[in-house]
Structure 1
Amino acid sequence: MLAPGQVVGGRYRVTDRPIGAAVRVVELHSGEQTRLAALDLPELLNQDDWDAEPWTGLAERLAAGLATVPAHPRLLRGFGAFVEGRRLWVAEELPAGVPLAELAERPWSPYRVAELAADLAGALGALHRAGLVHGNVSMESVLVGEDGAALLGGLLAGAAEEGYCAALGGPVPRRVYEARAVLLGVRAERWAPVGGAAGDGWALGVLMYRLLTGHPPYPERELGELLAAVRDGRSAPADGCGPLRPVVEGLLAGGLTLGQLRSWLAAFLAAAPEPFERVTPLLPVVRPRGPVVRRPRAKTPVVTAGRAGRRVSPLLLGPLLVGGVLVLLAAALAAVVAFGG
């Protein structure tokens, strides 16, 4: 168990915040947040005469393969692999976000799943054009960023797990299967019936089904039952997938490519309704309970004039003023005539 502040691989300092089965570390030179995951090497080899060379060689091959991984905005970068403490460690970029596994407690809406699937299909397409296969599309390998975009990680970890199983099994397929069964467990996405790019598309279909319905399309009670259902194509009905049913069924049947999926999702999302928030309407106004009480009408204000107690309405004030002015003018004219006569 790693302790906060411990340095691993000579370049990664452990923080106090774990991420599932991995740990959050800081790269000492750049200060960049990084995710560090470990594979426990076989207990059978963890003896005093334990030889780290085969596993160090695997780590070196994994690190060298990073040079062929294309840069893509939806693909998390791998930083390296190394052996320390009888564990094989892999380091991967860790931007701000939340693992998909922590957000999938209940089914998602079709439009939100379509957005996520479009992001993942873009990342997978970039890998396939570079001649690479991901092989680790699952809930654990997807990070949802602060902007809501899906980021696909787990490429280095998936390659490490497959290399680990191949090294344990050697040329014996049965031993490779047994190693994969122990390491990967009963997770449908990791047991694609075909390899290559088609296998990545199939795993994406399983992931979409899981997000839309809240459960996998194949039984995950026991590995033999899961593999038999996958081999025979006996997936559960996709009724719960709603408008995404055609593409989910197409991916699981192997009849839909990632390029076709991206085109279909683009058209689907272009017709998506704008998100909205429900607000309380201004009308109708709800009348309070109880009897209606009539309010008294306000009296017309008045202005006092003349003798005390005598009040004049504002409606008569204008004519009175005009009349007063006329009287004064008439008096002045009479005075002029009298003096002039």
Structure 2
Amino acid sequence: MRTAPGQVVAGRYRVTDRPDDDVGVPAVDAQSGARVRLFGLELPELLDPVGGAAPGHAARLTARVAQVAAAAPTHPRLLRGLAAGPEGELLWVAEESVSAVPLERLVGNGPLSPYRVAEIGADLAGALRAVHEAGLTHGNVTTRTVLVCEDGAAMLGGLLLGAAEEELCAALGGEVPRRVYETRALMLGPLAERWAIDAGAPADTWALGVLLYRLLTGHGPYPEHDLPTLLAAVRDGRHHPADGCGPLRPLVERLLDPDAARRPDAVAVQRELRELLAFAPEPYPDGPPAPLLPTPRPAAGPLARRPRGARPPRRPPTDRQDAGPAGRPPRIPPRLLGPLVLLAVLALMAAAVAGVVLVAG
């Protein structure tokens, strides 16, 4: 899958930058001018039962991808799959391009907080709800197909690529289930999200439960060192303890239930996560805020009870207090003191003059 800037693949997409293994090959659609991401799927030769070469199957995969793309809904948390085109031994699948990073990179930094996982889960549940209402199954919910945008929103991609991979496994396996299993094992590896024991919408919600567990704990809920061990654990419902899932533990355990009838659907998952987020504590980067009305305690020494009848110590006057009793403000406003003193002097002078007149008379 070697490409270089300026190269045109599938007769339509011009590569604009070097490929990124996590988010595909950046390119531009020559027909619409839209920015896209390309993912290449190798197309090995098919063999018929007697060992001869079978006709190529690029047309079959292209038709299947086109069918899924036509039925896919439009949703703000679902990356839009565009088309697929063969070129040589590769099938190129084009998907809408956004400024985001794969969730896989965030998981590499350690477990995420439960409320951040709840935000991501609510976005993904909304996207899955739209997919299921359109009569489709996503089948490719992994940390690589989930992108996190600059505003923190999670978007689900990989719908067309997952459909192409499953169609290729069916084409290579034919009517032999063992060959289908071996093809999926080589193509997908022991990644728990891709090995649900049932099909349809319940498989997607189960994969969402696996993903939430992985984000909360930093590892998958099942052993993934080899595929037979993984499949046996999934079949028997033996997952690692969910102690590290915090407030999301009840939901995660229900999503991982081996009985599909007991799992919540995407609508219920989204509703439950939104209810949890409604009561989430506010995030404070520097720790919890200081109390609005602090009550300072003495610098040293215990608090002592005041003896009965003892008067509390007087506090020095402040700018808003007069030195009067109990620090109460004066009864006469300061602006009236001058006129009142003048009136008192005049009254005394008048009284003196009246006394002189009486004595002289």
- Which residue pairs with 1:69 in the alignment? 72
CA deviation vs aligned residue, 1:139-198 (integer Å, no higher than 9, x gap):
111011121111000000000000000000001100000000000011000001111110
Letter in 2 for 1:42: P
- Indicate the residue corresponding to 1:13 in structure 2: 14
Partner-residue secondary structure (3-state), 2:152: coil
**What one-letter code is carried by the residue in structure 2 that aligns with 1:39?**
L
Alignment of 1:50-89 (within 5 A): 53-89=56-92
The counterpart of 2:273, out of the listed 245, 262, 265, is 265
1:184 to 178, 188, 194: 188
Alpha-carbon offset, residue 61 of structure 1: 2.7
Query: Could you tell me which amino acid in structure 2 is paired with residue 151 of structure 1?
Result: M
1:277-288 → structure 2 map (5 Å cutoff): 277-278=285-286
SS at match of 2:190: coil
**Does the CA contact (< 8 Å) of 2:148 and 2:154 recur in 1?**
yes
* Equivalent residue letter for 1:26: V
Which residue in the other structure is 1:34 paired with? 36
Q: Percent identity?
A: 60
Does the Cα contact within 8 Å between 2:19 and 2:26 map onto a contact in 1?
yes
CA-CA distance at 1:278 after TM superposition: 1.3
Q: What is the CA–CA distance in structure 2 between the aligned matches of 1:192 and 1:251, rounded to whole Å?
A: 12
Distance 1:30 1:276 in 2: 44
Which segment is superposed worse, 163-172 or 49-58?
49-58
The whole-number CA distance in structure 1 between the counterparts of 2:87 and 2:149 is 30
**What is the aligned length?**
280
Aligned to 1:158, which of 162, 165, 181?
A: 162
1:219 is paired with a residue whose SS is coil
> Where in structure 2 are the equivalents of 1:1-341 lying within 5 Å?
1-20=2-21, 22-42=24-44, 53-105=56-108, 106-253=110-257, 254=260, 255=262, 256-278=264-286
Give 1:44 shift. Answer: 6.6
C-alpha deviation, 1:237, in angstroms: 0.2
Tell me by how many angstroms 1:17 deviates.
Answer: 3.2
Structure 1 SS opposite 2:16:
strand
Decide whether the 8 Å contact of 1:52 with 1:86 is kept in 2: no
Contact 1:82 1:89 (8 Å CA) reproduced: yes
Q: Which 5+ residue runs of structure 2 have no aligned equivalent?
A: 297-361
Deviation at 1:245, TM superposition (A): 0.1
CA RMSD across the alignment: 2.1
Report the AA paired with residue 236 of structure 1. H
Distance 2:179 2:53 in 1: 21
Tell me the SS of whatever aligns to 1:103.
helix
SS at match of 2:57: helix
AA in 2 matched with 1:89: W
TM-score by length of 1: 0.78
Q: Distance in 2 between matches of 1:167 and 1:225?
A: 26
User: Partner of 1:135: helix, strand, or coil?
Assistant: coil
Q: CA deviation at 1:26?
A: 1.4
Task: Kindly state the Cα deviation for residue 43 of structure 1 after the two structures are TM-superposed.
Answer: 5.6
In structure 1, runs of 5+ residues without a counterpart are 285-341
1:270-289 Cα shifts (integer Å, max 9, x gaps): 011122231898x99xxxxx
Kindly state the Cα deviation for residue 51 of structure 1 after the two structures are TM-superposed: 7.2
1:15 deviates by 2.1
Contact 2:64 2:163 in 1 (8 A): no
**Deviation readout 1:12-31 (Å, 9 max, x if unpaired):** 11122322152111112333
Superposed CA deviations along residues 180-225 of structure 1, whole A, max 9, x for unmatched, are 0000011000001111110000000000000000000000000000
3-state SS of paired residue (1:165)? helix
CA distance in 1, matches of 2:234, 2:141: 16
1:67 Cα shift? 1.3
Which amino acid letter does the alignment assign opposite residue 2 of structure 1? T
Question: How far did 1:85 drift?
Answer: 1.9
The CA deviation at 1:257 is: 2.2
SS at match of 1:139: coil
Contact map agreement 2:45 2:54 (CA 8 A) in 1: no
Instruction: Give the SS at the match of 2:37.
Output: strand
> Does the aligned pair in 2 maintain the 1:60–1:82 contact within 8 Å?
no
User: Any idea what the Cα deviations from partners look like across 1:223-253, whole Å, max 9, x if unmatched?
Assistant: 0000000000000000000110000001001
TM-score by length of 2: 0.74
2:4/2:18 contact within 8 Å kept: no
Rounded Cα–Cα distance in structure 1 between residues aligned with 2:60 and 2:184: 20
